[in-house]
Amino acid sequence: MTSLLFLIPVALGLGLLGLAGFFWALRSGQFEDPDGAASRILIDDETD
């Protein structure tokens, strides 16, 4: 029972962390241009 009291908050906390991460990504515009983000990795930046 004590393990439950410890494990449940941990599990929920980790889940919430993921949810918060998703919201942060949504707010900071990371879903604005999914195609562009996928292609941008291929650009070679030799300058700066």
Partner 1 sequence: MTAVALESERLERTTLAVPGAHCAGCMSKIERGLSAVPGVAEARVNLSARMVSVSHEEGLDRRKLVHALADLGFEAQTRVNGSARPDSAARQLLAPLAVAGFAAMNVMLLSVSVWSGAEGSTRDLFHWLSALIGVPAIAYAGQPFFRSALGALRKGHTNMDVPISLGVLIASGLSLYETAVHGRHAWFDGALMLLTFLLAGRALDAMMRDRARTGVDALISQAPQGATVVSEDGTLAWQATDALRPGMILRVVAGERLAADGEVVSGASQFDQSLLTGESRPVAAQVGDGVLAGTLNLTGPVDVRVSHTGYDTTLAEIVRLMEASTQSRSRYVRLADRASRLYAPAVHTLAALSVGGWLIGGASVYQALVIGVAVLIITCPCALGLAVPVAQVVSSGALMRAGIMVKDGSALERIALVDRALFDKTGTLTMSRPQPDPAVLSAIDPVAVSVALALASHSGHPLSRALAASLSADGHRAAELDAVEERAGEGIFARWLGLEVALRRPEAASGIAVSLFVEGKPTWLIPYAYHLRPDYAEALAELRTLGIEASILSGDSVPAVAEVARATGLSAQAMTSPADKQALIGRLQAAGRRVLMVGDGLNDGPALAAADASMAPGSASDVGLQSADLVFTQDSLLAIPRAVRAARATTRVVKQNFALAIGYNVLAVPLAMAGFVTPLVAALAMSTSSLIVIANSLRLARIAR
Enumerate binding residues for partner 1 (CB under 8 A). Answer: 1, 4, 8, 11-12, 15-16, 18-19, 22-23, 26, 31-36, 39-44
Contacts of 37 (CB under 8 A, 6+ apart): 30
The DSSP secondary-structure symbol of 29 reads T
Handedness of CA 11, 14, 18, 19 (dihedral sign): positive
Nearer to partner 1, 6 or 12 (CB): 12
Nearer to partner 1, 6 or 39 (CB): 39
Rounded to the nearest whole angstrom, what is the least distance from the CB of residue 42 to partner 1 in the complex?
Answer: 4
